[in-house]
Amino acid sequence: MASTADIRNGVVLNMDGQLWTVIEFQHVKPGKGGAFVRTKVKNVMTGKTVDRTFNAGAKIETETVDRREFQYLYRDGDGFVFMDVSDYDQITLPTTVVGDAANYLLENQNATVALHNGNPLYVELPASVVLEITYTEPGLQGDRSTGGTKPATVETGFQIQVPLFLEQGTKVKVDTRDGSYLGRVND
C-alpha cells in the first residue's frame, strides 16, 4: 500500500479492481479544511478518463506495470505478433489490446508494450510516425494558401486528412494520438 504522497504522472493505481494510470495530479492545500490530491486518471483497458479526489495521506493501492520495448513483426489473423527486443520472445496481442495503434504500425517498427503480471495491457507508440501516402486524389497546383484538406490513405490502410498539394508517394509525419497530419518528410 502507498499513500497519496506517492501519486505521480504515469503511476498505475488499482481502484475498484480496475487499473487506472495517472495523467495529471495536483496537491491542494486549501486555507480551511484538510489537504487533498486532485487527479485525472485514465482506465488502462477502456481508455475512459475520470477525475478522482483523494484526501491527503489516504492509502492507495499502486500496481507495477512493466513497460518493455517490442518490435512489431506481422499481423496474424485477428492478432498482432510482437517480439521482445531483449530476449526475442514472441507474443501475439489481440486487436483489443493494440487498439488505435494498429492504424500506425508498420512491420519492424518498435513500440512499447505495457505488461501487468505478464498480461499485455496496451501498446504505446511514439508521439509521431512517418508514413507514406499510398493513395490520394491528384494535387492541385497553386492551391497552397487556402488551407483546404483532402483524404489520403497511408501505407497502413488508415485514412488521414492532408493538404491539397500532397501527392501519392509522399512521406508524411502523423500524430499517433489523434491521426492528424504534422508535416511532410523529405528523404
Question: Which pLDDT value is given to residue 187?
Answer: 65
* 88 backbone φψ class: left, alpha, beta (φ>0; ψ -120 to 50): left
Give bridge partners of residue 183 from the DSSP assignment.
173
Asked whether residue 76 carries a pLDDT value surpassing 90, the answer given is no
The yes-or-no answer to whether 66-124 and 128-185 have a common fold is yes
Whole-number Å distance between alpha carbons of 9 and 6: 10
Contact between 133 and 168 (Cβ < 8 Å): yes
Asked whether residue 183 carries a pLDDT value surpassing 60, the answer given is yes
Tell me the CATH architecture of domain 2-63: Roll (2.30)
Whole-number Å distance between alpha carbons of 136 and 145: 19
Q: Does domain 66-124 have CATH number 2.40.50.140?
A: yes
Domain boundaries, the chain: 2-63, 66-124, 128-185
CATH code matching the domain that covers 128-185, chosen among 2.40.50.140, 3.90.660.10, 1.10.150.120, 1.10.1740.10: 2.40.50.140
Nearest by Cα to 121 from 109, 110, 111, 106: 111
Torsion of CA 107, 108, 111, 115, to 10 degrees: 90
Whole-number Å distance between alpha carbons of 129 and 176: 7
Specify the residue for cell string 496537491: 27
For 10-58, how does the pLDDT look when each residue is reduced to its tens digit (9 = 90+)? 788 888 888 888 889 999 898 888 899 999 998 887 778 899 999 988 8
Question: Which pLDDT value is given to residue 11?
Answer: 85
Specify the residue for cell string 520495448: 69
For 81-106, how does the pLDDT look when each residue is reduced to its tens digit (9 = 90+)? 999 998 988 999 888 888 888 889 98
C-alpha cell at 140: 492541385
For 96-153, how does the pLDDT look when each residue is reduced to its tens digit (9 = 90+)? 888 888 889 988 989 988 888 888 888 888 888 899 989 888 866 655 556 678 888 9
